[in-house]
Chains A and B, each alone.
Chain A
């Protein structure tokens, strides 16, 4: 019964938080309206998202977010240097195949989004059976190092969070 009523508890909380952030003022009326949205939106969209993702290890989640923010800053500077000071002829763009150990669609989505957000790499496609990601790398001399880096830094932690 409770599962029918609240199919995605985390989504409900996020919707409430986003609503309170949007109105920028915490009053009883806003909390009630936000809770109403948090109950109704997941219930209506539940058929499109039948399985509830398992999310555990909140400390690892925080660690993951901090690592990604740090990587975004470092990679931004690196890519800015490539764009500004490297002649086009010397930029070696490469396609990298990343075999996945993750199986949950939510975890793969987070990994693909992380790869795109860290500048210098863009996720282009998923293999048809969901077992590998196609990543485009702006400049690298060693595509194996890129692949191993992504697998060790992001995928390992996502495995802990989602499985």
Chain B
């Protein structure tokens, strides 16, 4: 499921950094990488020597991964989203920068557009899991803590196969919802949610050393971020529903989580 990954690259990307990324993707099951560069017509670097891309390609190939190099033009986020579909990749990899206090800005408008536009799952790599250092092997799945946020609707059921694929040491399933309007409905709803969570736990048990679940009431973005910090999640897996016309400027749930989280995000459209 994570066999082929598209990594958008820009001028200034170092071979060393790409090697680290390649290593972590390989540990998650990637076998093939598509390096994709979008030439911006207004960019200072436009039309310059593209040999730097070949250097990046070689750096990843050293890890035993097969690499394709592709380029595109026009609107950056749309080009990446289209290329991901065209190349038939399983995911798009985005790395957030390390100036965490300013991460909203540094996630960049391109990344944010891509999160909204992409029809392919997007893996936004943040602080956790830590990238392996140059000579320190790879991330082992035995260390991975996955937080699967779901409200049992269509959008949040789509990531389930990916959650299974991630595997790891611990999968915590989080269901967030609003409180029902009266105690009787609340009790009924709660017991139905518990039933569903238990059955989901059973479904995921073969893939993880430990599977737990919890139900919370409140603002979905806030609760997901809170629980993610509590359990030191490495990756938050969640679905993305098409935002309503007016919700995007205010920031929809997925965007708020991507912006506020220290854990990496695997967002399934």
Q: Do A and B come from one complex?
A: no
Residues of B at under 8 Å CB distance from A? none
